Amino acid sequence: MKILIAVGSKEYSGPTLQVGIKVAKAFNASTTIVDVGEKVSEFSTKVVGLTQERMESWDFDRPGVDVLEWAFKYLAENNFIEPQQIEAGFPKTTLVEKDGRRAEVYLKGTVCDDVNLILRNGDIIAELRDEVQTEFYDVMIIGGSGKRRMVHDMIQYIDSSIFVVKNYDPSQEYQILIAVDDSPGTRKAIKYGVRVAQAFGIGVNLLTVSKQDHFGEGYKGAADRAAKFMHRSGIEAKNVFKVGDPAKTIVDTAGDNHIIIMGASTRSPIKKFFKGSKPLDVMENCRCPILIVK
Amino acid sequence: MLGFSHRSLTNFLFWVTQKKWFLVTMMVGLILLFLPTPVGLTLEGYRTIIIVITALMMIITEPIPLPAIAMYILVAEVYFGIGTANEIASSFMNDAVFFIMGSLMLAVAIIKQGWDTRIALGIIKLTGNKTANIVFGFTAISAILSSFIGEHTVAALMLPIAMTLIRFTSDDVSKVSNLSAVLLFSIAYGCLIGSIGTPSGGGRNVIMITYFRDADLSISYLDWMMKVYPLVLIQIPIVAWILQKSFVPEYVHLDSSVRKLVIQVAKSRKMTGRNTVAAVIILFVFLGWVFFSESIGLGTIALTGVLSYMVAGFVRWEDLNRNTHWGVIILFGATISLGFNIKATGAAIWLANQVLNLFGNIMETFPFMSDAIVVLMTTTLANVLSSSATVAVLGPVTLNMGSDALHTGLVTAIASAFGYFTAVAAPACTIVYSSGMIKAKDFLKVGWKVGLMSMILLVIYANTYWLFIN
């Protein structure tokens, strides 16, 4: 299992890193933390690079290194990296640059072997997509964004599962809400749900929503199988059946004290592009963290 | 769908999303291509205007790499029958492109010499520790240096000095946000107001000189300085004043940070014989520009300087190659080729006539309005695309807009430096913005004041001082 945690700044990315490390521990996952810096106009890329070289000779770090240093401190405080590395401090001198737009530091982890810190520059969706495609991550963890276009592009174009740490409050007591139906995505969502529930030590609500006022065999069977799987895994779970618009019902039921887990849409990419999808609607409107499993 | 897998459809949609501005541009180009040719314009002229519009849209939105935009311009000129392949190729390379190439490489060579520590000491000796004087000093030094060696070089040298002063004042950036803004903007705007001072201050000035020569006009290095340099000197105190009013610094004196800066600089290496020789080469380049640029060209002299640095072993080819943006050079070559064809196909005169038809009456009643319109057009374009590209495509048009082409051309070249409004308008702005200490909206917050001042001042200056010295 490989996890990519996308952070943006020390001020706003604390919860993302906190949740990301918790999930990484639960999955014993090889973990990478990436900061994507702002895209520089192509007219000035070379001269900005040259200026940064001069800045380094005056003992200034290039933008983004401070974010990685902050992430390193967080990893150190949580004993996620080996003691020798914590003692040696953040190894900024080993920040290896590739292609002028990606630089990385390799660390030795305690929970997993590899912990990497990466700096990228450019369009955020293009950079994250490239990172996920070249390094084959299973889950990407990222903070919430208010921009509809960004949320849409993330779900549409990034190949991995996506955990959006939206409105996460460490003092809040969360439960997991898994959206259950008879689609293939639900089976994957259930498996992820078990691991996340174990990581956070919390119970699970299995929500099945029907647009009509009766539930077909497919839905009932999926809900039963999900509940049995949860019980076999030692997770406290209960089935909830509701009637209404699926996306709205999931958002209302989740409120601000659940972590929503649902499968990705199986609609064709063209339909998703023009009409959107249920996960997109939920992700846009929910007030809590959400994991879309692909 | 049609046998395509979900993955290939997703890849296609992602390509569409990333290249949407390229697709929009091509659509606009196609629509224009099928519209009838405007009255009074040749078919070649109309097609040149279509290439200009589509190329500018792509330069602004950057949906494809800059060298790809250059290639688009060059191949479109041939495919549209604007010139033969050989004609387009020969219009692509000239002294202005040599100059842009040479100045970008000289920037690498100069920055690698580490003269920023010397400059830091120089500024502090001149200004002392009073913040107001330091801001004035940063603006003045940036302006004066950039008038000779180009804004990007100076901004790259000055940024670490300003950042060191800020860091020594406080580690908490929120406590020095105004000080950061005032110092960093004094570098960026100082570089911009200085870059108009001499022909070697920026590629755009050399492009305009190339157009002057093409129109059988002539202006020497010293003539340019005599006409324009006073405007640089007038703007320095005004810009420093506007900046301090817009961002009132948190500290009136920077005693301890100046002391720490001096100590840090003193620890760095002393001036060596190698540094002296490197400085002498730059001095010779400057003298070459002043005395020989009319006969052998500014670009040839800049390249001679680069050659001297390489022969002396002061800069490695690997460093020049790695840090010079060849794509930008190719793009400027292509836009200059486009500029020549705007003139050759009659599109320049047609466009100029459209502006004159629109504003002719006002321009006749108030002669200064002609300059005001040129300034407004140039400043607007310079803030959304590169200043050199602005002069390359707008120059041939504005040269036809007034009775005195030299006057209008100089006004265009000067106004193209007014890229105060956005962080991406000029390399100097992008460089200070890359420090992460100022926000994108700060450029608009202070840029409109400096921009308005520069525009009004230029119109008054061109219609008083130039009349006086003529």
* B183-194 per-position pLDDT tens digit: 999 999 999 999
Q: Does B114 touch chain A (CB under 8 A)?
A: yes
Contacts of B20 in chain A (CB under 8 A): none
Domain count, chain A: 2
Q: Which of A116, A141, A165 delimits the end of a domain?
A: A165
What's the pLDDT at B194?
97
Statement: residue A196 has pLDDT above 70:
yes
Compute the C-alpha angle B335/B309/B284, nearest 5°. 85
- Compute, in degrees rounded to 10, the torsion defined by CA atoms B285, B289, B294, B299: 60
Residue A104 structure tokens: 């990385």
Neighbours of B362 (CB within 10 A): 13
CATH classification of the domain holding A157: 3.40.50.620
Q: Does B274 touch chain A (CB under 8 A)?
A: no
Burial class (CB in 10 A: 0-12, 13-18, 19+), B271: exposed
Shared domain for A140 and A272, answered yes or no, is no
Chain B, residues 27-66, CB within 8 A of chain A, namely 62, 65-66
Rg of chain B over Cα atoms, rounded to whole angstroms, equals: 23
- The answer to whether position A119 is within a domain reads yes
Report the Cα A108 to chain-centroid distance in Å: 22
Statement: residue B1 has pLDDT above 60:
no
d(CA A64, CA A58): 17
Shared domain for A140 and A202, answered yes or no, is no
Neighbours of B19 (CB within 10 A): 14
Contacts of B261 in chain A (CB under 8 A): none
ipTM value: 0.87
Shared domain for A142 and A186, answered yes or no, is no
pLDDT bracket for residue B210 (50, 70, 90): very high
Handedness of CA A148, A149, A155, A156 (dihedral sign): positive
CATH classification of the domain holding A221: 3.40.50.12370
Shared domain for A131 and A53, answered yes or no, is yes
What's the pLDDT at B320?
94
Q: Which residues pair with A114 in a beta bridge?
A: A108
| Mean model confidence pLDDT for chain B | 93
Contacts of A63 in chain B (CB under 8 A): 434-436
The alpha-carbon gap from B177 to the nearest alpha carbon of chain A, in Å, equals: 17
Q: Which chain B residue is nearest to residue A61, measuring alpha carbons?
A: B435
Cβ atoms of A49 and A21 within 8 Å: the answer is no
Shared domain for A274 and A213, answered yes or no, is yes
Report the Cα B12 to chain-centroid distance in Å: 37
Residue A143 structure tokens: 């903070």
- The answer to whether position A170 is within a domain reads no
Cβ atoms of A131 and A4 within 8 Å: the answer is yes
Q: Do A47 and B427 touch (CB under 8 A)?
A: yes
Chain B, residues 166-205, CB within 8 A of chain A, namely 167
Shared domain for A160 and A241, answered yes or no, is no
Q: Which of A131, A165, A199 delimits the end of a domain?
A: A165
- The answer to whether position A242 is within a domain reads yes
Q: Which of A165, A188, A219 delimits the end of a domain?
A: A165
Shared domain for A156 and A184, answered yes or no, is no
Shared domain for A51 and A104, answered yes or no, is yes
Q: Does A126 touch chain B (CB under 8 A)?
A: yes
Structural domain including A12 reads 2-165
Task: Give B433-466 pLDDT, tens digit per residue.
Answer: 999 899 999 999 999 999 999 999 999 999 999 9
What's the pLDDT at B85?
95
Shared domain for A130 and A186, answered yes or no, is no
Shared domain for A156 and A252, answered yes or no, is no
Residue A227 structure tokens: 């509940």
Shared domain for A223 and A191, answered yes or no, is yes
Cβ atoms of B241 and B148 within 8 Å: the answer is no
pTM of the model: 0.88
pLDDT above 90 as % of chain B: 79
- The contacts of residue B374 (CB under 8 Å, 6+ apart) are B398, B401, B402, B408, B411, B412, B415
The b/e string for B161-172 (b: 16+ C-beta within 10 A; e otherwise) is bbbbbbbbbbee
d(CA B198, CA B348): 26
Task: Give B5-44 pLDDT, tens digit per residue.
Answer: 888 999 999 999 999 999 999 999 999 999 999 999 999 9
Q: Which chain A residue is nearest to residue B328, measuring alpha carbons?
A: A43
Q: Do A273 and B327 touch (CB under 8 A)?
A: no
Shared domain for A209 and A108, answered yes or no, is no
Handedness of CA B421, B424, B426, B432 (dihedral sign): positive
